Amino acid sequence: MLRISQIKRNAEKGEQGLKHAAAKELRIREEEIQNLRICKRSLDARKKPELYYVYTVDVEVNDEEKILRRCKSNKVTRAKEVIYAPEQSGTIPFKHRPVVIGMGPAGLFCALSLARTGFAPILLERGMDVDRRQEMVETFWQTGQLDERSNIQFGEGGAGTFSDGKLNTAVKDATGRNTFVLKTFVEFGAPEEILWLNKPHIGTDLLREVIKNIRKEILRLGGDVRFEAQVTDFEIQKGQLRALIINGAERLECEAAVLAIGHSARDTFALLKKRQFSMSPKAFAVGVRMEHPQHLIDQSQYGKERGTLPAADYKLTCQLPNGRGVYSFCMCPGGYVVNASSEEGKLAVNGMSYHSRNGDNANSAIVVTVTPEDFPGDDVLAGVEFQRKLEAAAYEAGDGKIPVQLYHDFCKKQVSESLGETTPSMKGAWTFGNVRDCFPKEIGDSIEQSIKVFGRKIRGFDRGDAILSAVESRTSSPVRIEREKETLESSISGIYPCGEGAGYAGGITSAAMDGLKVAEAILKKFKIK
Ligand code: FAD
């Protein structure tokens, strides 16, 4: 297989003529290419409004040697693919089945990997299965009636189920885990394009089906899945896990449990603190969701209307004179702002979109980095309390609804009275409220200043009628649950902190990759009885 990179095609024409262009690079006839597979496609908008897709393709041809010698182009190489192959070298026979706590991407991929190796894991999830969960979330958005057990943060599929389903990650793929995760998503129903798009995304509608299919496969392989099964305590003897307590009543003996609980399991964090797990506070980011008309972003990024091109995205960062880093996060082209709360009397927002990304607005979080210095004291969970304080302020600002403020009113610190051109695209009720007041002064000032800076990068970003809502507080975990570098076990032997909640991932794909990594650690230690 030969790999050709940097094939540039007019974006409006897409794949048309791609095979011809590949043959030209190889200096062969088009018919000599037996098979062509796209490996990567990214958009080059440097000469907008002229837009180009830049492709990397793998092609099957006869006599690769001869072609390589002849074409001499540094764009052509031999295709190399790292195949993900976890090693099973454990020596300790399992007395009990391994348990995976949490069915977000970290827990699901860990359990799938264990199930495929014959370990028949037991999955415990505090929330409900994805169908019932969806009904509850819809009810919450329509009535404001929150179920603290099963909501946007908790339930099958984890926190990213009602999301944009962005799958890109900054984590390097030396082990092949990233490719394996994407291939697994495709195997269970995601569109194949996620394997080659530069910024792949699934969308909440498709993601829910994929999650169900992964669950069915785990069950088929002998695993067990239990919903409404919250781990409420750990039985520990001499620093070693002995059993899990479920829903305060049932005892489940086990010697290995994966703690893939996500960043919102605040009660479980409190339990870990009580049981003296080694944990440390970590930096995260807080801020607002910001909405613009999608056509404004398209115009800025493409230099014209988008036509048949996908809704445009953006990524913005700046370092302010006050030392704060501010950046856009979890940008959802053509998406919705969602009420993503999981606690009564607290309000958190986030972003979601469908596969088509065809909503009227572009939204993204504009968040300011906060460090443990912003929530001083020696409590390891001070960051959680900091989040809670902001969420309580947002709840109050909107009287239980999502508080909304136009940017020019945010700057003037006054409650908005009417909308401009943009209407909020929101899941969950909203009302005008003082978003600015939800934040400590320095954070509010940083948001205001950064939006001005971003207005110099994207024309109109700082327009007065852009919509801000609050509070974006669940960007990543406020704590890290320490784990051994080699064994990946916590300070309590047999417990494996995993994924975003434990502080080892930041997003769907990296959480899934960490799930695989933890499964590998278990396979290195244990073997089937
Ligand atoms: P989670 O997905 O949070 O899963 C943890 C699971 O553990 C939950 O289902 C929870 O119910 C369960 N649990 C917790 N405690 C217990 C307990 N004691 N007993 C039993 N079960 C328990 N990331 C992206 O990469 N792309 C996106 O587009 C994106 N959009 C997002 C949109 C929204 C609305 C939200 C909320 C998040 C989004 N994210 C996105 C972030 C992404 O969802 C997380 O990074 C990812 O889900 C982390 O995976 P995880 O498996 O570590 O944890």
Residues with Cβ within 8 Å of residue 250, at least 6 apart in sequence:
none
Cβ atoms 176, 372 nearer than 8 A: no
Ligand 1 pocket check for 159: Cβ under 6 Å: yes
Minimal-distance CA residue to ligand 1 atom 26: 166
Pocket probe mutation, ligand 1, options 233, 508, 510, 513, max atoms within 8 Å of Cβ: 508
Please give the average per-residue pLDDT across 362-372, as a whole number.
97
Tens digits of per-residue pLDDT, 152-170?
999 999 998 999 889 988 8
Tell me if residue 254 falls in helix, strand or coil. coil
Counting atoms of ligand 1 from 1, which one is nearest the CA of 268? 18
Give the span between the Cα atoms of 266 and 380, in whole angstroms: 12
Residue 173: what pLDDT? 84
Which of 431, 502, 506, 499 minimizes the C-alpha distance to 470? 431
**Residue 81 confidence (pLDDT):** 82
User: Where does 292-381 have alpha helices with state H?
Assistant: 294-302
Q: Single out the residue of 154, 59, 71, 166 nearest to residue 107, CA to CA.
A: 154
Per DSSP, what are the bridge partners of residue 250? 246
Residue 127 CB less than 6 A away from ligand 1: yes
Q: Does the structure show a pLDDT above 90 at 190? A: yes
pLDDT at 376 over 90: no
Mean pLDDT taken over the chain: 96
Answer positive or negative: Cα dihedral of 127, 131, 137, 143: negative
Tokens 């302020």 locate to 393
Ligand 1 binding pocket includes 266 (Cβ within 6 Å):
no
In angstroms, how far apart are the furthest CA atoms of the chain?
72
Instruction: Look at residue 82 in the predicted model and tell me its pLDDT.
Output: 86
| Interatomic CA distance for residues 278 and 365, integer angstroms | 31
Nearest ligand 1 atom to alpha carbon 229: 20
Whether 337 lines ligand 1, by a CB cut-off of 6 Å, is no
Higher pLDDT: 87 or 296? It is 296
* Separation between Cα atoms, residue 42 and residue 6, nearest integer Å: 10
Measured in angstroms, how far is the CA atom of residue 38 from the centroid of ligand 1?
31
At 80 the pLDDT is: 86
**Alpha carbons 79 and 4: distance in angstroms, whole number:** 8
* Tokens standing for residue 442: 């320095």
- pLDDT number for residue 72: 79
Residue with CA closest to ligand 1 atom 43? 160
Q: What's the confidence (pLDDT) of residue 170?
A: 83
How sure is the predictor about 130, in pLDDT bands with cuts at 50, 70 and 90?
Answer: very high
pLDDT tens for 27-50 read: 999 999 999 999 999 999 999 999
Which residue's CA is the nearest one to ligand 1's atom 10?
A: 154
3-state secondary structure 43-84: EECCCCCCCEEEEEEEEECCCHHHHHHHHCCCCEEECCCCCC
Position 305 scores a pLDDT of 95
Q: Map out the domains of the chain with their CATH numbers.
A: 2-78 (3.30.70.2700), 92-280+479-527 (3.50.50.60), 283-472 (no CATH)
What does the pLDDT look like over 288-310, one tens digit per residue? 999 999 999 999 999 999 999 99
Q: Please answer whether residues 391 and 471 qualify as being in contact, where contact means their C-beta atoms are separated by less than 8 angstroms.
A: yes
Band (pLDDT 50/70/90 cuts) for residue 471 is very high
The pLDDT assigned to 394 comes to: 98
The residue with tokens 């984890």 is 158
Average of pLDDT values for 139-156? 97
Nearest to 382 by CA among 470, 475, 286, 479: 479
Question: Which of 136, 474, 500 maximizes ligand 1 atoms within 8 Å of its Cβ, making it the mutation to test the pocket?
Answer: 500
512 close to ligand 1 (CB < 6 Angstrom): no
Instruction: Tell me the sheet residues that pair with 406.
Output: 467
Indicate if ligand 1 lies below 6 Å from the C-beta of 154: yes
Instruction: Determine what percent of the chain is predicted with pLDDT higher than 70.
Output: 100
Give residue 439's pLDDT. 98
Mutation test of ligand 1: which of 113, 201, 261 has the most ligand atoms closer than 8 Å to its C-beta?
261
The one-letter amino acid code at 41 reads: R
Q: Is 518 in the pocket of ligand 1 (CB under 6 A)?
A: no
Query: What are the tens digits of pLDDT across the range 220-235?
Result: 999 999 999 999 999 9
- Does residue 507 have a pLDDT over 90? yes
Ligand 1 centre to CA of 382 (Å) is: 21
Enumerate the β-bridge partners of residue 430. 402
Q: How far is the CA of 162 from the centre of ligand 1 (A)?
A: 10
Across 19-28, average pLDDT? 94
Residue 23: closest CA among 65, 76, 69, 74: 76
At 307-318, the pLDDT tens digits run 999 999 999 999
Inform me whether the pLDDT recorded for 529 exceeds 90: no
pLDDT band at 13 (very low <50, low <70, confident <90, very high): confident
Separation of alpha carbons 489 and 442, rounded Å = 38
Q: How far apart are the first and last CA of the chain?
A: 42
Stretch 106-121: mean pLDDT: 97
pLDDT for 172? 81
